[in-house]
Homo-oligomer: A and B are copies of this chain.
Amino acid sequence: MIRNQMPAAQVPYQLDSGEGLRFSFGSHLATRIAVPEALGQPAAGTVLSGAKGAKFPVHRHARTHEAVYVLEGAVALTLAGQAFLLAPGDYVNIPPGTPHGYEFRDHRGKLLSWTFLGNAAEAYSRLGAPYAGHIYPESTASVDWSLLDASTDTELLDSTSFVDGPWSPKLTTAPQGPVPFVLAAGEGERMIAGDQLYTLLGNQTHSNGVFISLLTEGPAGMPIPRHQHEKVTELFHCLSGQMEMFAGSEFITLHPGDFLHVPPRAPHSFQLTKPDTRFLGFVTPGLFEPFFRYLCSPFDGYRYPLVPPPFRFDRVIQHLAELDLTLLERPGGPPPAAPHA
């Protein structure tokens, strides 16, 4: 396992909380945790933080689809002409062409941004210089935003396009289709599988099938069966608790803030190992969404119940032929009906 380094190849790697390729501009810090060379595709993951008042002006990407999950702090967001005050756990879908920009409103703002299709994440190295620290600099240096242009898939919009309130309500249910939206923390389409609750933040329709994003949470429990995918890349962010992963050829423990990249054809598995563990996953392409719909049942509640329903891995087994899924061991649940186990 490659730890705290990003390989220039499509192999599993793990980054501790705070690690990555760091660039500062003004009082912003962009920590790039996944770059296209490592992912083997035009996608990128970045953790953005900045001082109170640090602002990324309103802009739009012609090709890049961006998704933002708020990790910490209060952040003012302009999205398609509306203003939102973001809090931890909020999720933002930003399809290509959507004007957006943000301002950190306290000293703790931290955003996780995933970009797909276009190269907008190159903006951070264009704007900034490599930085030795792991937190934003309290710098008063100005940023030359005019460095951003079509070569980083970023078109800056007029500075008057930042909407500074009143705050629009965040959604409790996401609309369907590739439209911009802000989903409030804890909301989303909820599904249950055994003792784990899955909350779909971004579904296939939201990105035309490019990716899905979902929260997984549950008590300390059993490992899921080891498996691998032919085309699907999985990007794991541990948010709370602790999880034991198997990836490639070894076990690795993730704690809050840690990131793990699992490329296609890498055997992997996870196990939640502390009470109330939660992780955020981005899965690309999005074609793996049906797996969760076979495994899970729709769920009206917001937290996994004390007494879990049966783990219906049998329903996955029944649909194995249509899924990009190769099981590498027998599931702990009902005996498989297919010869893959």
Q: Which residues of B contact A134 (CB under 8 A)?
A: 219, 275-276
Which residue of B is nearest A71, CB measured? B240
Q: Which residues of B contact A276 (CB under 8 A)?
A: 17-18, 134-135
> Contact: B274 with A107, CB < 8 Å?
no
Question: Which A125-141 residues have a C-beta within 8 angstroms of B?
Answer: 132-138
> Contact: B185 with A73, CB < 8 Å?
yes
Question: Which A25-66 residues have a C-beta within 8 angstroms of B?
Answer: 51-52
Known: A17-B242, A51-B302. A108 touches B89 (CB 8 A): yes
- In the complex, whether A301 has a CB less than 8 A from a CB of chain B is yes
- In the complex, whether A209 has a CB less than 8 A from a CB of chain B is no
- Report the minimal beta-carbon distance from A128 to chain B, rounded to whole angstroms: 14
> Contact: A16 with B135, CB < 8 Å?
no
> Contact: B219 with A240, CB < 8 Å?
no
- In the complex, whether A265 has a CB less than 8 A from a CB of chain B is no
Question: Considering the chains assembled together, what is the distance between the CA atoms of A46 and B87 in angstroms?
Answer: 24
Give the contact stretch, choosing among A228-236, A244-252, A303-311, A329-337.
A303-311
Q: Which residues of B contact A226 (CB under 8 A)?
A: none
> Contact: B240 with A17, CB < 8 Å?
yes
> Contact: A242 with B219, CB < 8 Å?
no
> Contact: A17 with B275, CB < 8 Å?
yes
Q: Which residues of B contact A17 (CB under 8 A)?
A: 240-242, 274-276
> Contact: B257 with A241, CB < 8 Å?
yes
The residues of A with any CB-CB pair to B shorter than 8 Å are 16-19, 51-52, 72-74, 87-89, 106-108, 132-138, 184-187, 219, 240-242, 255-257, 274-276, 301-306
10 A-B pairs closest in CB distance: A18-B275, A107-B186, A134-B275, A256-B256, A107-B302, A133-B306, A255-B255, A18-B276, A138-B301, A108-B186
Known pairs A16-B242, A88-B88; list 14 more (Cβ under 8 Å): A17-B242, A18-B275, A19-B275, A87-B87, A107-B185, A107-B186, A132-B306, A133-B306, A135-B276, A135-B303, A138-B302, A138-B303, A256-B256, A256-B257
